[in-house]
Amino acid sequence: MTRQLKLGTFVKTASPHIVEVLGTTGLDFVCLDAEHAPLDRAMLDLMVLAARASGLQAFIRIAEASPSVVLSCLDLGATGLLVPHVDSAEQARDVVAMARYRGGVRGYSSSPRFAGYGSLGMKEALRIGDEAQVICQIESGAAVTEAEAIAAVPGVAGLFVGRADLALSMGLDSPRDPRVLDATRHVLAAAQKAGKFAGMFVAGNAERDEFAALGANWFIVSSDQTLLRQAAQAIAHAN
């Protein structure tokens, strides 16, 4: 494995302490899963605070791509957003516009964390705000077909293959079905060609290395809950 890879994990437990503990490791980022976990705005605020204090980048997987959700998450100081179910370049452009001041529709306030609680001038706050990274999840057959066009949208930082939902959209029940893997390779190639992050969720290091060999370079490996369960299970079976 090379450190050119960016490695993180999903955090699904509503606790800033989990994020703080992960900050003591060599991970590059955490992804706070507001799509599938009970993380409200107040909890996300504390979890992003913990990430920034411990030197971790904090991405938020949002539940929906709406201006209010995007604004809220970025005002908290998130590094960027993981956006589910982006099926077209038009959708990608809409999300990028929600995340941008210049050329976009993001509402401005100097008071949130991202702007240093009013300590930055407007010009600097706008610059920092417009550096927010938007990573589009590719989770349907239509999105796979549109992968090159989505990756080419200015402001899209990367593509992220959601193999489980992709399998479901194809009428399949395994993220390792050969048809899903073929689609995955196509998306990774599209991201690489555009010079964007080629992202994936993987269960562990073996899958990480498998897909790194295919060009993936931005990995969410497992989750806090799974890592905890696996470690506890290993102790339970130690004797």
Six token digits for residue 197: 């992050």
17 catalytic per annotation: no
DSSP code at position 113? G
The pairing of beta strand 133-138 with beta strand 156-161? parallel
**Residue 1 above 60 pLDDT?**
no
Active-site hit among 17, 36, 186, 237: 36
Q: What phi and psi, each to the nearest 5 degrees, are found at residue 222?
A: 60, -155
Per-residue pLDDT for 2 more than 60? no
Mean local confidence (pLDDT), 112-136: 97
**Mean pLDDT, rounded, of the chain:** 96
DSSP per-residue letters across 43-91: HHHHHHHHHHHHT-EEEEE-SS--HHHHHHHHHTT-SEEEES---SHHH
pLDDT at 237: 82
Question: Domains in the chain, ordered, with CATH?
Answer: 6-236 (3.20.20.60)
Tell me the whole-structure pTM to 2 decimals.
0.96
Residue 11: DSSP 8-state: E
Q: Please give the average per-residue pLDDT across 74-96, as a whole number.
A: 98
pLDDT tops 70 at residue 19: yes
pLDDT tens per residue across span 184-227:
999 999 999 999 999 999 999 999 999 999 999 999 999 999 99
Token readout for 136 is 């589009």
Q: How far apart are CA 153 and CA 128, in angstroms?
A: 20
The C-alpha atoms of residue 110 and residue 24 are separated, in whole angstroms, by 31
Residue the block writes with tokens 């593509």 = 159
For the stretch 143-180, pLDDT in tens is: 999 999 999 999 999 999 999 999 999 999 999 999 99
Backbone angles phi, psi at 10, to 5 degrees: -75, 140
